[in-house]
């Protein structure tokens, strides 16, 4: 049987939720996957679960031993998440070594096993934190790995990585989300929440804030 359907990498944030709603427009069969690596903002998984159960779509949570990811403020609570960090050439300490490589790898195995032909990932290379694993060249390189390194690729029905947000600004993502009726108030973006509330000052909060302001949309 020819593979059909989409697997969406879903963190419960603004970008991946918009990406999920986008995939739902294109595919009847959609499965989502989230990763629990004891991230500082683990609350995102709870948010993600609420959205997937609202949408009644299968949701797989993959546990990753947090010891795999060292030297990142998103896991190691002894490293502070930078606040009011202005985008420079330097990769911030919120970078998680090889995270999207690992996430896309899991997605590849799951999608191939379930016979799904597309993987959606909400990476964005405009209003982002400069992570190397969010760039178009990275996605292209990983696509090549799937094409060459899997049975489905060998049989000429390669799983395709879809990145609908890759070249959108945060403003455009908010406008797309609004059009797709994304429940923004159920999404979570903050890296460093305090008792479940967004800090308002980390990179992720600032990018989100700017996006909503530029789009003229109220972020509840």
Q: How far is the CB of 150 from a copy of itself (least distance, A)?
A: 6
d(CA 149, CA 155): 11
Contacts of 95 (CB under 8 A, 6+ apart): 72, 129, 131, 132
The distance between the two most distant Cα atoms of the chain, rounded to a whole number of Å, is 51
Q: How far is the CB of 216 from a copy of itself (least distance, A)?
A: 35
d(CA 34, CA 42): 11
In the shown chain, the binding pattern of residues 47 to 86 toward a copy of itself, with x for contact by CB under 8 A and - for none, equals -------------x-xx-x-xxxxx---------------
How many CA within 13 A on the CB side of residue 177?
Answer: 31
d(CA 31, CA 55): 11
Indicate whether 156 belongs to the interface with a copy of itself (CB under 8 A): no
- What's CA 35's distance to the chain center, in Å? 10
Q: In the chain, how many H helices and how many E strands?
A: 7, 5
Considering only 1-9, 51-59, 136-144, 197-205, which stretch makes contact with a copy of itself by CB under 8 A? Answer: 136-144
Task: Give whichever of 106 and 199 is closer to a copy of itself, judged by the CB atom.
Answer: 106
d(CA 199, CA 168): 25
Q: Binding a copy of itself by CB under 8 A: which of 101, 126, 199, 217?
A: 101
Indicate whether 138 belongs to the interface with a copy of itself (CB under 8 A): yes
Indicate whether 150 belongs to the interface with a copy of itself (CB under 8 A): yes
Indicate whether 110 belongs to the interface with a copy of itself (CB under 8 A): yes
Q: Binding a copy of itself by CB under 8 A: which of 98, 179, 196, 216?
A: 98
Return residues touching a copy of itself (CB under 8 A): 60, 62-63, 65, 67-71, 91, 95-102, 104-106, 108-110, 112-114, 132-133, 135, 137-138, 141-142, 144-151, 153-154
């Amino acid at each position: 049987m020819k593979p059909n359907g989409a697997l969406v990498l879903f963190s419960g944030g603004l970008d991946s939720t918009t990406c999920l709603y986008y995939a739902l427009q294109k595919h009847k069969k959609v499965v989502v996957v989230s990763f629990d690596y004891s991230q500082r903002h683990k609350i995102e998984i709870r948010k993600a679960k609420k959205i997937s159960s609202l949408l009644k779509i299968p949701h797989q949570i993959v546990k990753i031993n947090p010891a795999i990811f060292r030297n990142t403020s998103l896991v190691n609570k002894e490293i502070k998440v930078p606040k009011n960090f202005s985008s420079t050439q330097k990769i911030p300490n919120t970078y998680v070594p090889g995270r999207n490589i690992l996430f896309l790898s899991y997605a590849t195995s799951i999608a191939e096993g379930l016979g799904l032909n597309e993987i959606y990932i909400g990476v964005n290379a405009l209003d982002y934190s400069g992570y190397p694993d969010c760039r178009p060249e990275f996605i292209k390189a990983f696509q090549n790995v799937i094409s060459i390194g899997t049975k489905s690729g060998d049989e000429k029905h390669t799983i395709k990585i879809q990145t609908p947000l890759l070249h959108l600004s945060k403003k455009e993502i908010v406008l797309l989300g609004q059009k797709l009726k994304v429940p923004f108030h159920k999404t979570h973006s903050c890296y460093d929440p305090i008792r479940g509330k967004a800090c308002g000052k980390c990179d992720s909060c600032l990018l989100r804030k700017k996006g909503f302001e530029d789009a003229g949309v109220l972020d509840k």
